[in-house]
Structure 1
Amino acid sequence: MDAIDVLRAKRDGVPLGADQIRWVIQAYTDGAVPDEQMSALLMAVFFRGMTADELAVWTQAMIDSGERKDLSSLGRPTADKHSTGGVGDKTTLPLAPLVAACGVAVPQLSGRGLGHTGGTLDKLEAIPGWRADVHEEAYLQQLRDVGAVICAAGHDLAPADKKLYALRDVTGTVESIPLIASSIMSKKIAEGADALVLDVKTGSGAFMKDPEASRELARTMVGLGEAAGVRTVALVTAMDRPLGRAAGNAVEVAESVEVLAGGGPADVVELTLALAREMLAGAGRPDVDPAEALRDGRAMDVWRRMIAAQGGDPDAPLPQPAERHVVTAPATGTLTRLDAYALGVAAWRLGAGRARKEDPVSAAAGVVWTAGVGEQVTAGQPLLELQTDDPSRIPRALAALEGAVGVDTDDVPLPLVLDRI
């Protein structure tokens, strides 16, 4: 095989053969194909796309670059969930223990935030003592004993994706549906769960802004999951406004605990239950009602055990910010705009997010709000509270919020769940 032949074929719109795809993915992972040649191939894919057959082989080759976890020894069905990322999207935190409380194990390998979107591991690290790294035997033991684990992925899981993702980030090839889909699904399929539920966000705060593009991504990923033998469903959900009433790290943990205690914002509860029902159905438990596990405290019990198993103290006070700044409602009427992207950027600038993967984050930084889209507000009432450890960050956060809040505008919010695929 020769890399130049492969990239020329894709450049010219010729579908790649299965052997070509498997060879180039493995050769690049092993270092036999250099970055400049793989960059050219990624750009050719960006413009030429991939057929369904090409994409299925490409994704499987990425899975085969590492190991696929075997969870059959757990003795119970397994289900996983992936979100394409948003603002205030903390559903993984209450969802994993909730589904586990219903008898389905949840092996949730999660990531960190970058830019305006939050990261599940960053949020959980706000809990004193909690560790994201769980070695293989402890990972399986926690799934047996507790039923849920949320942790960082090991280096043996789809290593081809790690190299390709870093290359896409610096070559302008991130925004390609085949490359996005194969990146997400190679890792998720390699996790070894029986069923997978995808939460594909759409709107200003999402990676995909356009609902039809989000649907296309959802269809592509569902096809890849099914082709790999994983029962896969996608919900396309709204991210034109943030989810819940908090964006940040400790503030989102606190809100997740409220949900597990039977309270919390209505939209977070609704989406958590919708995703839980899909996970349970995919794992063969369609008759189990997850709402009951919230009401009777079983989900909270699993949460506490899950946090403790990873060194965290579920009773410890969460970090508090050194500085708070209140933004008031600009007028009286119905809140019709609360822009997700603007709030995500504000939380990021306050210290809750990072510009580069190696940047630290502040556990106490974030934004909370007192009203959601569709609710009534009064001019001058406290609407947003900016929280940070560094008061010098507040002016730039306020700049991000210019135009983010609208009262009695003609904005029409998206439904929380737009589609099921």
Structure 2
Amino acid sequence: MLIFECATDGGATFTACTSPVTRTGLGAGSYSLRVRARWQGGEADATPAEAAWTVDLTAPDTTITGGPSGDTNQQTATFTFSSNEAGATFECKIDAAAFALCASPHVVAVTLGAHTFSVRAKDGAGNLDATPATRTYRGVAAGTPTRVRLVAANITSGNQQSYDPGHGGRILAGLKPDIVMIQEFNYFPTNGTAEIRAWVTSIFGPEFSFYREVGAQIPNGIISRFPILDAGTWQDAAASNREFVWARIDVPGPIDLWAVSVHLLTASASTRNSEAIELRNYINMFVPSTDYLVLGGDFNTDTRSEACISTFGSILSTAAPYPVDQNNNGGTSANRSKPYDWVLLDPDLKAKQTAVVIGASSYPSGLVMDTRVYTPLSEVSPALFGDSAASNMQHMAVVVDTLLGP
């Protein structure tokens, strides 16, 4: 009589078994089954048959690596994406449609209005990414100006004035800026270029570029969806741990935009005015009057009538109305009593300013972003209610929208 004996997972001991063999309750890992035939009371097969397999319970991650975000006047959009698991397949959808099998690159027709592209990976074991990657964009008619969102952000909450706890990053991700004038541009534990690059990609997307001053304790920087054509620093003679950072950016349309990231000192109003005079001189020397100019950042101003604002007023629009939150409060300090943070436009860019539109909400003069008062927070996901109240968070982000091009 012929019988069968089985051994599992590399074990040396064979025990009697019958076909089929069922194994249950297996966790993630590698498994094997060896089986040999034996004549009852006789010799066994010296070359057992073997089956090996892996139980994979980990869902893959999905990353969108290319495609439009913000406004697009093209008739089609091409999205590229990838997974951290080799051999994964993908499912895509637009808005509320059902997911369907797709591959990268994936081309979709662009219709007018706001849309969300979603993609999720599925691995060879059938695990499906439960958190699809998404990219929002807005189809506009050909010839329509492009909405360009400008944000000033000194919204660190981590040790050594850094973004690594996540509060400021979530706020920035929720605001979906096109150009950020960022202060205290640190991310630990290494705070190196590769780690900063990874942070920018995780918050804004791989298509964003950045410039960050080198060697500063609390560096200023520029982050941009649009190509940075040139960038550098101008010395802030009053500050020992940062400089003025500038970037010339190829925004939509024929005119370049110069973005300047500023972090003035807390020392005194007169010191801040000295810094403003120095910066104004740099701008007059290097920025063509025919280009757009935005100056954004942490001015540390106690009032809107400080001398430094008057100094900037000789080259930039500094008059009211100013960005406010949903309670009509324009203060950007932690307790919301002082106008620390600014986004200032030169007159030709000011003429292009438009209301900030987020979801169904509109802010005619710009937005001061405080998660404690913003509603509904779903409009600025993944920002959380307590992010603006995080320990060490001393500022609110300021948002201004413009329409540029074609």
**Under a length normalisation based on structure 2, what TM-score does the superposition of the two structures give?**
0.28
Indicate the structure whose relative CO is greater, using CA pairs within 8 Å and at least 6 residues apart. Answer: 1
| Higher-helix-fraction structure | 1
| Higher-strand-fraction structure | 2
Larger Rg: 2
